[in-house]
Amino acid sequence: MTIEGTTASTGPNRRLRLGMVGGGRGAFIGGVHRIAARLDDRYELVAGALSSDPERAKASGADLFLASERCYASFAEMAQAEAARDDRIDVVSVVTPNHRHHDAAKAFLEAGIHVICDKPLTTSVEDAEDLAATVERTALIFVLTHNYTGYPMIRQARAMVEAGELGRIRVVQVEYPQDWLTTRLEATGQKQAEWRTDPARSGIAGCVGDIGTHAFQLAEFVTGLRCTQVAADLTTFVEGRPLDDNAHMLLRYDNGARGMLWASQVAPGNENGLRLRVYGDKGGLEWFQEQPNALRFAPFGEPPRTITRGGPGSNPAAGHATRIPSGHPEGYLEGFAQIYRDAADLIVARLGGPQPDPQAALVPGVRDGVRGVRFIHAAVESSRRGASWVEI
Amino acid sequence: MTIEGTTASTGPNRRLRLGMVGGGRGAFIGGVHRIAARLDDRYELVAGALSSDPERAKASGADLFLASERCYASFAEMAQAEAARDDRIDVVSVVTPNHRHHDAAKAFLEAGIHVICDKPLTTSVEDAEDLAATVERTALIFVLTHNYTGYPMIRQARAMVEAGELGRIRVVQVEYPQDWLTTRLEATGQKQAEWRTDPARSGIAGCVGDIGTHAFQLAEFVTGLRCTQVAADLTTFVEGRPLDDNAHMLLRYDNGARGMLWASQVAPGNENGLRLRVYGDKGGLEWFQEQPNALRFAPFGEPPRTITRGGPGSNPAAGHATRIPSGHPEGYLEGFAQIYRDAADLIVARLGGPQPDPQAALVPGVRDGVRGVRFIHAAVESSRRGASWVEI
Amino acid sequence: MTIEGTTASTGPNRRLRLGMVGGGRGAFIGGVHRIAARLDDRYELVAGALSSDPERAKASGADLFLASERCYASFAEMAQAEAARDDRIDVVSVVTPNHRHHDAAKAFLEAGIHVICDKPLTTSVEDAEDLAATVERTALIFVLTHNYTGYPMIRQARAMVEAGELGRIRVVQVEYPQDWLTTRLEATGQKQAEWRTDPARSGIAGCVGDIGTHAFQLAEFVTGLRCTQVAADLTTFVEGRPLDDNAHMLLRYDNGARGMLWASQVAPGNENGLRLRVYGDKGGLEWFQEQPNALRFAPFGEPPRTITRGGPGSNPAAGHATRIPSGHPEGYLEGFAQIYRDAADLIVARLGGPQPDPQAALVPGVRDGVRGVRFIHAAVESSRRGASWVEI
Amino acid sequence: MTIEGTTASTGPNRRLRLGMVGGGRGAFIGGVHRIAARLDDRYELVAGALSSDPERAKASGADLFLASERCYASFAEMAQAEAARDDRIDVVSVVTPNHRHHDAAKAFLEAGIHVICDKPLTTSVEDAEDLAATVERTALIFVLTHNYTGYPMIRQARAMVEAGELGRIRVVQVEYPQDWLTTRLEATGQKQAEWRTDPARSGIAGCVGDIGTHAFQLAEFVTGLRCTQVAADLTTFVEGRPLDDNAHMLLRYDNGARGMLWASQVAPGNENGLRLRVYGDKGGLEWFQEQPNALRFAPFGEPPRTITRGGPGSNPAAGHATRIPSGHPEGYLEGFAQIYRDAADLIVARLGGPQPDPQAALVPGVRDGVRGVRFIHAAVESSRRGASWVEI
């Protein structure tokens, strides 16, 4: 447990200089990224292409105390200009809608700048592969904000599975129900609903891309298994919506385990109900995002126990990802911040700082992004073919 | 709410005479049926073919204070002998393993005796249809102990759906995880495990037949929908076990709703985790068998509320199926007893008593049994065909 | 775990003959006692003085299939007449309002008949002591239906404390909130509210006597400690009500442990919220009546675990008090029935049957009743003296 | 809901300059204050007297990127030096052990600098009154970090009570159990345990001062009532510990409501279990710190509902204190940050910025601190006098 991540010994004795693409006034997730970046005091935001509208870009920059010459009108201009500065940004956060991730991220990678990028990685498999190739060619750090992997009890769960505490994994149940699209919210002008239900900005999937990818990735992250096949039944329940708003899937994993994935945005009474349950031949684990500080562990034949962040039975992997003692709940922002903290460790190492804790290397990267895009496309393809099995 | 079901006005002013087939020493579910029959004081047990072993049959009968001349060595003898008595049994409970349900139930129906029968109805679709035809021909009461439909909050849920409080149903999530077969328990001589994993006594399915049918039936009971298609991925995780111990299914309902069904007997940390969640365009309902006195109801756009048995917001359908005030938990035995209480109302009406409450007519009958057997066979067929869709 | 309590070897091979005083039409708790008596098939109800109104007494008896000559007009007549019969009742249940407990119970004891009596024992300390002396002089079985001690997980908790799993007990938190008297319900003619708020029938305390005694007794039952002193602040919040409807108390126990007791009938949102928490120097236990099948056990320095009735970690004391496997919830009626089952074991032993399981001897008896009455009087006295400490 | 608190229109278009007294290497709560200050981007830390050990003070400052000339060796030096600078700090956070709060806070107030101070305010009533007088004389902002009042659902609860949704408040149950001092942890050198159990640094109370004050203050904050009398039974269960580690109290409020307060640091299985329950004649509210995003509201006679931060039924008071949508849990750090955000609003107004939202004015101030100190002393006095009632 560390309250703050920086000490005199961790490499360049300064905060990392951060830029941001997207996230101007009226955006949601950009603000979350900024809180996450500030929380552990490892970054200072110094540059941005915060909006494609130049006026809004400048005003948004002023809100955030950016120097006006570092408020850019486009990511292309920003990548070029920053690359030319002595005090150029160390890393950029790409927080635009999905359809711009590829081009923006690529521009900074080509300029030699590390990237933190929102998920899903891209809207097409081709773009995803191209970005992965670019990352691999440039050998830069690329972090994908599958933020739920930053929760301490998810790190705990992963380490427990890896240590064999569940035995051989047999069954994976993952679900992510929400209710905010139960009605046709996008028709009211609600911004978040608009772009997420618009194929031009979201890609070929709605609910599957927006939250199904989180569920899919979380299950693989915790179990260490690879999902090889999916049989999916996607549905659009709200009339006039061009993309799926409910997804039912059967999953098969590389070790023979079987799974189910449910993602929905039309399930009244569910706010952000990401839930993962994993069962092996020695025990079971259950975790619920809305109460993230607890993990239920049932060793077969023994009473189930509740392991809390920092409480008895919590492991170093959980400890790596937390700040405050047990009983003082951490939440979504702290989980998100963990991704930024780990990214900082990786980047600082590149700048000559110490080798990061191996836990830091667990942050999702570009290959996770490629898998996510492949998952989306496999799910859509399976559903089109009547829920036939499709390889991922 | 009624503490006891009998009043001077309800028809024949006596307890119904009950017989039992199966349920001798060492059996489990027979004792549950007897408690259920006693709880509301509507029956007295007077005859039995409690075991196929004559010694055990007699000793079991003595335990239960049966007159020795009414402890029979076989159901066939019992049906014949009882039919010939003036004080013959009004109704028989069939609580044998699955493979004997058909023959035993049929024998009593042919003898003019009403039947209460454990689920699943039979081990083959042909037997199921034959039994249904027999019931319809004889016009006798036939009750199938899908006991979870006896829970007050399940009656509440059904009435709420019927009244339109959820709007049009879109999504049905039902699951029934257990963990007692995580290891090869049947190899240790445990009696319950032995017959449930033995195709000769259980039929073509293990987990699907034992508990999957409950989940399937409960979802239809509450929603009033018919499931038309299933795509199933059945697995046997424990080596050497001849029947499935985990089942993953996609469901399609007649109104366009989609569902998922998970049944497992290898999910450590789950005891008897039957859970039903139903979502419509106006609201959602959630219920969990291990805490059966509460129902979560989330009208879309309003805070979710917890409706308890007998508490504010509970409806007459729940009231029909309860005995004691809110806050005093009723459980599995009371739910089971409700099936017997409702059955008594139906039988008493046939004996000249008053017309039963319409709620009593909701007890599952032979056609529910046929559907259950068809469901089992469709699931197995689908799984054999790689989780292709199969009509039910 | 036993489904039914009677076997050929348990003494008189018959059901015990039960009589009842009180519990006629319109009463509540009498019906609960009868279900409890039937559940394990150890009793048959054969006689009653069910109401002080002769017409109602007769009609109530007919509802229950009693022979008309054993429907008595008064408990005095019943005690005398039954004592004279060859097939006289073995035991009587006294289920009248509090003010009649003493006289009725005494009449049967003097007639040589065992007694099961509702709580609180009497309305005065003198009556309580007199009844205790009578029980001790006659050496008959006297069982007080502090029914919450019949819950399996309460038996489990008691055995765990006794085995030292919590170490030395330091802190006891017990509470029993309800909300049904939030408004002046007694003014509407509601029968249960009427007598409970009437000093003539309830005695000197309202909430304290009705539910506070349960809380007090449960804490002593589980911890094995004796409460020596109470400082109480009783309040009547509803205008016009002559007895307390909320009670706040500090407790001191004989080993130096400290406690708090809260009983309330004016706490909206609480149905029957009896909750006990016990903390020692080695661990803590928490139990909640509305979810009675689980017990939370936190050994200090280890993750808290959930022990369920019949699940891993449950002990023989719990096993003694249950009927069905884990995951199949038992509730209030089963807990109540346990008191009757244990009473049957004690009575059968007197009739020449086998010695009962030592667990059976844990059922509350007349001395628990005396303590309860002393507790009520001490609480009222303390409150009158401004919450000064009063010895119990 | 606002992601970040600063916009061009909110007064001085810059972050507030923050200093800190205490909170150097090895300290805990200082780091929490710094995260809280950073989270909403309203402050930059620019000066500190982080440790009374000069070497540690300097090293700690370097960790935090402070300019070395603003790393002071004492708060006195810091107050004087900062007051003399043009770019002097706007506000100082005092995060030392309790016994230094008074002197440090007073020094900055006298230097004309606003103060944010940890609780409890001081170790004596005299110091508390003196500090209050100083604040009132200087008319500076003084914020006391009773951080639990920063939780959105606490703001929601307060507003609901104020709006009359509970009717007249009758009963207040507040408790704060922990288990970390179950053994004599202070003897192992654990720093947090050492000073909290040391009268020289903690004052006359242990558990009461450390966490009892939070419970006491939270109950008053939510109900708007004043507690007038306390009867307390304080205990030290761990041998050799000079201060109380368990506290049981009866409370009386100015409107006639009654309450109970339990604070404990020896209750195994409890981490940071602050729980508040409030009951009025129209409804009840329940809140639990370890799951802070939900509030249970039971209007009498209606089903209880769960109101979540940002979900249906949440009010503007909750909205004022949150950053992200419902279902994305906020926790302890966000609640703490709310105190800093509100403090920033108050200070910015003094610097010529806009008037703050009335909600901001709810942050606890020096008079809350005085009440807390009076409460501690009344509790100790009451306990010394055998739990007699003592006026607060």
C84 Cβ neighbours under 8 A, 6+ residues apart? none
Q: Which of residues 137-176 of B touch C (CB under 8 A)?
A: none
Q: Residue D175: closest CA among chain C residues belongs to which residue?
A: C173
Token pair belonging to D264: 């404990």
pLDDT of A13 reads 78
Which tens digit of pLDDT belongs to each residue from D13-22?
Answer: 799 999 999 9
**Touching chains, B (3+ CB pairs < 8 A):** A, C, D
Q: DSSP letter at A165?
A: T
pLDDT of D191 reads 87
Closest-CA distance, C25 to chain D, in angstroms, reads 27
Q: What angle do CA C34, C39, C45 make, to 5 degrees?
A: 40
Residues of D in contact with B308 (CB under 8 A): 303
Residues of D in contact with A3 (CB under 8 A): 28, 30-32, 34-35
Judged by a CB distance cut-off of 8 A, whether residue D231 touches chain C is: yes
Token pair belonging to B71: 């402890």
Q: Residue D294: closest CA among chain B residues belongs to which residue?
A: B303
Q: Average pLDDT, stretch A212-220?
A: 98
pLDDT of B244 reads 98
Closest-CA distance, B273 to chain C, in angstroms, reads 7
Residues of C in contact with D240 (CB under 8 A): none
What share of chain C has pLDDT > 90, as a percent? 93
For residues A262 and A276, the answer to whether their CB atoms sit within 8 Å is: no
Q: DSSP letter at D71?
A: B
Separation between Cα atoms, residue D94 and residue D122, nearest integer Å: 12
Q: Do D38 and A38 touch (CB under 8 A)?
A: yes
Q: Which mean pLDDT values do the consecutive 10-residue runs of chain B (392 residues) have?
A: 45 86 91 97 97 91 95 96 97 95 98 96 96 98 97 98 98 98 96 92 94 98 98 98 98 98 98 98 98 98 97 96 95 96 96 93 95 96 97 95
Q: Average pLDDT, stretch D307-324?
A: 96
Residues of B in contact with C6 (CB under 8 A): 63-65
Point out the residue among B268, B282, B284 whose CB comes nearest to the CB of A284.
B268
Point out the residue among C30, C34, C332 whose CB comes nearest to the CB of B329.
C332
Separation between Cα atoms, residue B291 and residue B145, nearest integer Å: 20
D384, pLDDT greater than 50: yes
CA dihedral sign of residues D351, D353, D356, D360: negative
Q: What angle do CA A25, A30, A32 make, to 5 degrees?
A: 120
Q: Do B183 and A300 touch (CB under 8 A)?
A: yes
pLDDT of B6 reads 40
Element (H, E) at C145: none
Q: Residue C283: closest CA among chain D residues belongs to which residue?
A: D268
Q: Residue C314: closest CA among chain A residues belongs to which residue?
A: A303
Q: Do C313 and A307 touch (CB under 8 A)?
A: no
Judged by a CB distance cut-off of 8 A, whether residue C262 touches chain D is: yes
Residues of C in contact with B292 (CB under 8 A): 329
Q: Do A34 and D4 touch (CB under 8 A)?
A: yes
Q: Sketch the domain layout of chain B as residue ranges.
A: 6-147, 152-324+369-391
Judged by a CB distance cut-off of 8 A, whether residue D292 touches chain A is: yes
Q: Do C266 and D248 touch (CB under 8 A)?
A: no
Judged by a CB distance cut-off of 8 A, whether residue A238 touches chain D is: no
Which tens digit of pLDDT belongs to each residue from D96-149?
Answer: 999 999 999 999 999 999 999 999 999 999 999 999 999 999 999 999 999 999
Q: Is C201 exposed, middle or buried (0-12, 13-18, 19+ CB in 10 A)?
A: middle
Q: Residue C179: closest CA among chain D residues belongs to which residue?
A: D300
C302, pLDDT greater than 60: yes
B155-173 b/e (C-beta count within 10 Å ≥ 16 → b): bbbbbbbeeebbbebbbbb
pLDDT of B4 reads 54
pLDDT of A197 reads 93
Overall fold of domain B6-147: Rossmann fold (3.40.50)
Residues of D in contact with B156 (CB under 8 A): none
Point out the residue among D62, D65, D331 whose CB comes nearest to the CB of A334.
D331
Residues of C in contact with D258 (CB under 8 A): 233, 235, 246, 248
pLDDT of D76 reads 97
For residues B64 and B40, the answer to whether their CB atoms sit within 8 Å is: no
Q: Do C305 and A307 touch (CB under 8 A)?
A: no
| DSSP H helical ranges for A139-225 | 152-162, 191-196, 199-202, 207, 213-223
pLDDT of A146 reads 96
Interface with chain D: mutation pick from C258, C295, C307, C383, highest number of D CBs within 10 Å: C258
CA B330 to each of CA C137, C333, D61: distance values in angstroms, whole numbers, following the listed order: 39, 7, 62
Q: Do A296 and B389 touch (CB under 8 A)?
A: no
Judged by a CB distance cut-off of 8 A, whether residue D306 touches chain B is: yes
Q: Is D341 exposed, middle or buried (0-12, 13-18, 19+ CB in 10 A)?
A: buried
Which tens digit of pLDDT belongs to each residue from A331-377?
Answer: 999 999 999 999 999 999 999 999 999 999 999 999 999 999 999 99
A103 Cβ neighbours under 8 A, 6+ residues apart? A75
Q: Average pLDDT, stretch C69-93?
A: 97
Number of inter-chain CB pairs under 8 A, A vs B: 125
Interface with chain B: mutation pick from D160, D293, D306, highest number of B CBs within 10 Å: D306
Band of the pLDDT at D39, cuts 50, 70, 90? very high
pLDDT of C28 reads 86
Judged by a CB distance cut-off of 8 A, whether residue B179 touches chain A is: yes
Band of the pLDDT at C12, cuts 50, 70, 90? low
Query: Measured in Å, how far apart are chain B's first and last C-alpha atoms?
Result: 37
Q: Do D266 and C283 touch (CB under 8 A)?
A: no
CA torsion A211-A216-A219-A223 (nearest 10°) is -160
More confident residue, D6 or A327: A327
Judged by a CB distance cut-off of 8 A, whether residue D304 touches chain B is: yes
Task: Give bridge partners of residue B19 from the DSSP assignment.
Answer: B47, B92
Could you tell me how many helices (H) and strands (E) chain B has, helices first? 13, 14
Q: Which of residues 32-71 of B touch A (CB under 8 A)?
A: none
Which tens digit of pLDDT belongs to each residue from A292-328?
Answer: 999 999 999 999 999 999 999 999 999 999 999 999 9
Closest-CA distance, D293 to chain B, in angstroms, reads 13
CATH architecture of the region A152-324+369-391: 2-Layer Sandwich (3.30)
Q: Average pLDDT, stretch D204-231?
A: 97
Band of the pLDDT at D4, cuts 50, 70, 90? low
C9, pLDDT greater than 70: no
Instruction: Supply the mean pLDDT for chain A.
Output: 95
Q: Which of residues 307-366 of D touch B (CB under 8 A)?
A: 307-308, 311-313
* Residue positions counted in chain D: 392
pLDDT of D12 reads 58
A76, pLDDT greater than 50: yes
Residues of B in contact with C148 (CB under 8 A): none
Topology match between the domains A6-147 and A152-324+369-391: no
Q: Residue A305: closest CA among chain C residues belongs to which residue?
A: C305
